[in-house]
Amino acid sequence: MSKSDNELKNIVKDKYSKISQQKDETSCCGSTGCCGEVDYTMFSESYTHLQGYNPDADLGLGCGIPTEFAHIRKGDTVIDLGSGAGNDCFVARSLVGENGKVIGIDFTDAMLEKARSNAQKLGYNNVEFRFGDIEKLPVTANKADVIISNCVLNLVPDKAKAFGEIFRVLKPGGNISVSDVVLRGKLPENLKQAAEMYAGCVSGAIQMNEYLEIIKNSGLEKIKIQKEKVISIPGEILLNYLNQEELDSFKVSGTGIYSITVYAEKPKQVQDCGCNCSC
């Protein structure tokens, strides 16, 4: 039986609250697996070479580096969707400078608390963290020059609504750069239903073509995959959700799990439909 949108959101809130707390207490949320059977860092890339990087904000939960392709300029307003402990926000802050602004949005209280603490320790007064749902962003229309997100939108149940909100909040001519997990081929049903794998970004992923079509249907244009890499999940992890026969079948099925970083723009001239909405 498929889970409701609220059930899926509660799975994510619960899991990422635990990750934040366990990272603080024992720093064990990496390959040791104490946050569950899934290694949440298996998709992540190294940030250590980037200006603005702060190790306290890096929980290894991303699947790309969206700021790498975001065309962020001095003075921009950047919004990070699913900002976690603030890792991408602090990198973005180094790019917008003191006259720019960075807004991180997350709906996990423990992550927001950690991000705000990090910002305070760093003395940043132009980085703000807001509580909010990506399907209903706590931001006025035409606010952001750039919107980034890192391995989060695959966790949003209604992705069309999320990208509709992204379109609403972007300024005309603004752009997005989002890193996410997508599929080519069909996941085994047991894997799709596993809550642990949903929070680990896998079973919440959709087909790559469908993902790109949702972006297009939101009104965004000039869509381009800037980076793509295969994600290989070790068999010993998959055996927590599949039997050996199912695993063997999955390996030869042609199904691929990918991390992609997608760039897109909001048109500079947006046609007003007259209905006082975001369409």
Nearest to 260 by CA among 187, 210, 198: 210
Map out the domains of the chain as residue ranges: 5-265
Please tell me whether residue 140 adopts helix, strand or coil conformation. Answer: coil
Q: Give mean pLDDT, residues 50-66.
A: 92
- Given a cut of 70, whether residue 198 has pLDDT beyond it is no
- d(CA 57, CA 115) in angstroms, rounded, equals 7
Question: What is the CB neighbour count within 10 angstroms for residue 235?
Answer: 13
Pair 107, 74: CB distance under 8 Å: no
- d(CA 86, CA 91) in angstroms, rounded, equals 9
Residue with the larger pLDDT of the pair 234 and 195: 234
Looking at the chain, the whole-number percentage of residues with pLDDT higher than 90 is 56
Report the range of poorest mean pLDDT among 52-66, 139-153, 167-181, 209-223: 52-66
Residue with the larger pLDDT of the pair 206 and 222: 222
Interval 20-30: pLDDT, tens: 566 543 333 33
Buried-exposed string 45-77: b where 16+ CB fall within 10 A, e elsewhere:
eebeebebebebbbbbbbbbbbbbbbebeeebb
- d(CA 6, CA 40) in angstroms, rounded, equals 22
* 150: exposed, middle or buried (Cβ count in 10 Å: 0-12, 13-18, 19+): buried
- d(CA 146, CA 92) in angstroms, rounded, equals 10
Please give the pLDDT value at position 21. 65
Interval 234-244: pLDDT, tens: 788 788 878 89
Identify the CATH class of 5-265: alpha beta
